[in-house]
Chains A and B, each alone.
Chain A
Amino acid sequence: MTQQRTPGNNFEERLLARLKAEVAERGGAEEASAGGATTTPAWRRRAPRLALGAVVAMASVTAVLVFGAGGDNAPAAFAVEPQEGGGVTVKIYSLRDAPGLEQALEEAGIKSQVTWLPAGMVCREPHYTPSIVHLPGGGTLGGMTMGGPEPFTFGIGSTRQWRERMGEHMRGEISDDEFRSSTPNLNLDPEAFRPDQSVILSGSPVPYDGDPEGGSVAHMGIAEGPVEPCEPVPARPDSSGPYGLPGSARDGADYTPSG
């Protein structure tokens, strides 16, 4: 009943340690199952339902991140910078040089199709089979819509590293500004991708703050198997994305793999 007592150790801390071990085991098990490994702790026998819940949650959530079309000061369409602790951060300044960006992503370990389109245009959907990647440490990534006036950054590196950074931010160990300036909007972990999976990125300029092309909107999706070329079509006038930005040509039903 009574445990060894050490300084700074009490019931709450001991309980936290036990619960974190449970969470780590669960995250590790999810990682292992995503990678095809087979060890399943006894308590995870009811896991399929939980895992399905996570997938559905992710598929139905549209995250909004921000980036910008750059402008006169933009020295290049994008930049690839090494990340502290491994991996790279890709900063997109303007929607140009899609083939160059695809090559940079490939060199960092992510296959992709990047298509930058004129304002008001989107890819005709479906042009690929939507898929989901299971992130190491838990969670899934299925797709995102991004829009806004600021530069968009994404990291290519380990999920764990990215989460640790987020943990530091939530515990107040790093400031909001420091977090924002040093942490990519979105992290792509090459370890999470199966060989047949790739990232589909398309985007176009949108009006922002009086400038007809002052901002951008982009759609990021995960594909599995072959990907058709993007065929540009006008965005439906009634399709509106988050914050009133133009949405995709597809609707929710097209997005759902089973739908």
Chain B
Amino acid sequence: MHEHGVGPQHLRWIGTDPDIFDAFYREHVEGVQRFVVRRVGDRERAADLTAEIFLAAIDSAPRYRAQQGTPKAWLLGIARVVVAGDGRQRERQRLGEERLRGSTLLDEDDAARLDARIDAATRSRELYAAMDRLPEGERAVLELVAIDELSLAEAATAAGLRPVTARVRLHRARRKLRTELEAAAIEPIPNKEDQP
């Protein structure tokens, strides 16, 4: 699959070349949807956010640098920012300023498919909600590792951190969250990232 993917050298063209965007979108749309439903349990919000994430990627592509990691890590970094700014997007919708509303493209079959995905991600959303009280810097790494199952290195590039910083923050975040989850009787996060 990766040999035909859009590599870092082509990424800056996704915003202006429909063929290259096509290849990029097909490679990542499923990952982006999974990313979104782990955080948002509302089908229409999920569709809106999926569209918004790709629009933001189109906007950001000319500024992409290889240091920002693989195209996947770069895209998930954008996705985090977009989902975290969900309120701002709703405001744009209210003012009629949005460029494209994903939820208007859903039909009944899509809705059923998306609902199934949303149901499957219930536990991830519980975790996501439990992270609310963590400081943003710690939360970013934990989200990407525990919810999106990125490696620590990938999570570091997606969050724009050095690997060693990411590792420290991950440990802190996990320790704090474990206490919360135990109090809430939710199964703690496994420690697999401790063994790289």
For A53, what are the chain B residues with a Cβ–Cβ distance below 8 Å? 62-63
Binary flags per residue of B1-45, CB closer than 8 Å to A gives 1, else 0: 001111001101111111111110110010001000000000000
A13 to chain B, nearest CB (A): 9
Of chain B, the residue at the smallest CB distance from A46 is: B59
A5-B107 contact given A54-B12, A138-B13, A139-B17, CB 8 Å threshold: yes
Q: Min CB distance, B148 to chain A, in Å?
A: 19
Measured between beta carbons, the chain A residues less than 8 angstroms from B59 are 50
| Complex Cα spacing A51 to B4, Å | 27
Q: Which of A159-174 contact B (CB under 8 A)?
A: 163-164, 166-167, 169-172
A127 at interface by CB-CB < 8 Å: no
Q: Contact at B109–A5, with CB atoms within 8 Å?
A: yes
| Nearest opposing residue in chain B for A58, CB measure | B12
Cross-chain contact A23 with B107 (CB below 8 angstroms): no
- Confirm or deny: A79 has a beta carbon within 8 angstroms of a beta carbon on chain B: no
Complex formed: what's the CA distance from A202 to B15 in Å?
Answer: 32
A196 on the interface (CB 8 Å rule)? no
Write out, one digit per residue, whether chain A residues 1-34 have a CB within 8 A of any chain B CB (1) or not (0). Answer: 1110100001110111011101110110010000
B110 touches A10 (CB 8 A): yes
Pairwise interchain contact A15-B16, C-beta atoms closer than 8 A:
no
Q: In the complex, what's the smallest C-beta–C-beta distance from A91 to chain B, in angstroms? A: 23
Q: Is A74 an interface residue (CB 8 A)?
A: no
Q: Would A50 and B62 count as touching, CB distance under 8 A?
A: yes
Give A24 to B106 CA distance when docked, in angstroms: 23
B160 interface contact, C-beta 8 A: no
Q: Chain A contact residues (Cβ within 8 angstroms of B): what range? A: 35 or more
Q: Are B16 and A11 in contact (CB under 8 A)?
A: no
Which residue on chain A has the smallest CB distance to residue B19?
Answer: A167
Q: Out of B15, B17, B105, which one reaches A3, CB within 8 Å?
A: B105
Q: Evaluate contact between A27 and B29: CB separation under 8 angstroms.
A: no
Q: Which residues of A contact B10 (CB under 8 A)?
A: 166, 170
How far is B18's CA from A84's CA once the two chains are assembled, in angstroms? 22
CB distance from A219 to the nearest CB of B (A): 19
| Cβ-defined contact, A164 with B19, below 8 A | yes
- CB B114 to nearest CB in A, in angstroms, measures 7
Judge whether A16 and B25 touch: CB under 8 Å: yes
Q: A22-B55, A170-B23 are in contact. Are A11 and B12 (CB under 8 A)?
A: no
Q: Is residue A232 within 8 Å, beta carbon to beta carbon, of the partner chain?
A: no
A138 and B15 form a contact (CB under 8 A)? yes
Interface string of B45-77 (1 = CB under 8 A from A): 001001100110011001111000000000000
Partner of A16 from B15, B17, B29 at Cβ < 8 Å: B29
A23 and B12 contact, CB distance less than 8 A: no
Q: Tell me, in angstroms, the Cα distance from A22 to B51 when the chains sit together.
A: 12
A169 to B107, CA, bound (A): 33
Which chain B residues border A139 with CB–CB below 8 Å? Answer: 12-13, 16-17
> How distant is the Cα of A1 from the Cα of B25 in the complex, in angstroms?
23
**CB within 8 Å for A11 and B100 given contacts A30-B16, A164-B19, A170-B10:** no
Q: A22-B100, A43-B99 are in contact. Are A166 and B55 (CB under 8 A)?
A: no
Q: Are A11 and B22 in contact (CB under 8 A)?
A: no
Nearest-Cβ distance from residue B6 to partner chain A, whole angstroms: 6
A57 within 8 A of B: yes
In the complex, are the beta carbons of A20 and B22 less than 8 A apart?
A: yes
Instruction: Kindly state whether residue B187 has any CB partner on chain A within 8 Å.
Output: no
Whether the Cβ atoms of A15 and B22 lie closer than 8 Å is no
Q: A170 near B17 (CB under 8 angstroms)?
A: no
**Contacting residues, chain A, for B58 (C-beta < 8 A):** 19, 22-23, 26
Task: Check A15/B105 contact, CB under 8 A, given A167-B19, A171-B23.
Answer: yes
Question: Do B22 and A16 touch across chains, with their CB atoms under 8 A apart?
Answer: yes
Chain B nearest Cβ from A189, distance in angstroms: 13
11 contacts between A and B (CB under 8 A): A11-B102, A11-B114, A23-B16, A23-B58, A50-B59, A57-B62, A57-B65, A63-B9, A163-B20, A169-B4, A172-B4
Binding site for B on A (CB under 8 A): 1-3, 5, 10-12, 14-16, 18-20, 22-24, 26-27, 30, 43, 50-51, 53-54, 57, 63, 137-139, 163-164, 166-167, 169-172, 176
Which 3 residue pairs across A and B have the least CB separation, nearest first?
A: A138-B16, A167-B19, A27-B16
